[in-house]
Amino acid sequence: MIVAYGFANLLQSVAAARTTVHHTFDPGLLLRLAGHRTYLIGLGCQVVGFVFAFLARRDLPLFLVQASVAAGLGVTAVLGVVVLKWRLPAAEVVLLVLLFGGITALVLSAEPAQSRQLGTAGLVGLVAALGLIAGSGFFAARLRGALGSVVLGSLAGMAFSAAAVAARPLASAGSAEAFVQDPLLYLLIAHSVVGQLLLGLAMQRGSTTAAVAAMDAAGAVPAAVVGLLLLNDKIWPGREWLAGLGFLVTLAAVVGLTRYAEPQHHHSTARDRSPAMLGAPMVPAQAASTGPRSETATSTGGVGSTGMAGRRRPITRS
């Protein structure tokens, strides 16, 4: 499950980097992303991870499963450094370590227990949460840079958190007929689609690690609270302090990641399509006006492009 989510985060971030940046809450982004084979492979990895997580939620507390899902962030970061040559600042590496320390504390404090069913009030709450998250995403889509990445990532986490809350009692359905007829199934699907759209928007704007960290924390904390209060999730006796410390460390690490987030993707916008997005090398403005084209890419379809200041930035190619 952890590895599947790690690959999913990486592959979907690559596809998001190749897609024109959207500054509106446009569901069409998912259709555009689906045009990339990389995104579809990443989505397949996410589905695999989701299936394992869904089965785990039948007997395990939400904060344990959500912590395991969040651990995929480390796999994403390692793969990004090895495969895509990402450059993680030292501060971000330290904060990632703290994030995993907090998640480990949550894992050690969790006690397995069967879920209680959500009543009518719980269903109404999930419907209201869907509207609130989608409405907030409509306005947050206008944010840019690391701030937009973190805010949208947090909203995506809240949507996935609501999906996890729906999945916990749904996983205990006694038959296939009861499973299909349960309204929790359709709330789970709706929250997952909204979360997927928000995550795609978040990954276009800045640091993938910050976006996914914000998503994981915002997804883990509400689900853990709801699970403890309403779904019979439990903490091992005597380890309440460890659970509290895990939450504090996780949240502190996420706040730090939003501060030190370093953009890793260079995008075009709908108004200004970059030549790099179209598969052509980018030329410094000064060189373009004087005639000869600056050699900023190799003849084999090089991986370098030149920004406004003439510096090379790694890009991915379809």
Q: Determine the pLDDT at residue 184.
A: 95
pLDDT bin (cut points 50, 70, 90) of residue 303 is very low
Contacts for 309 with CB less than 8 Å, ≥ 6 apart: none
Q: Determine the pLDDT at residue 21.
A: 58
Average pLDDT score over residue span 89-117? 83
pLDDT of 270 > 70? The answer is no
pLDDT digits (tens, 9 = 90+) for 147-177: 888 899 899 999 999 999 999 999 888 788 9
Q: Determine the pLDDT at residue 313.
A: 35
Average pLDDT score over residue span 25-37? 71
CA 197 to chain centre: 10
Place of tokens 């947050």: 140
pTM above 0.75, yes or no: no
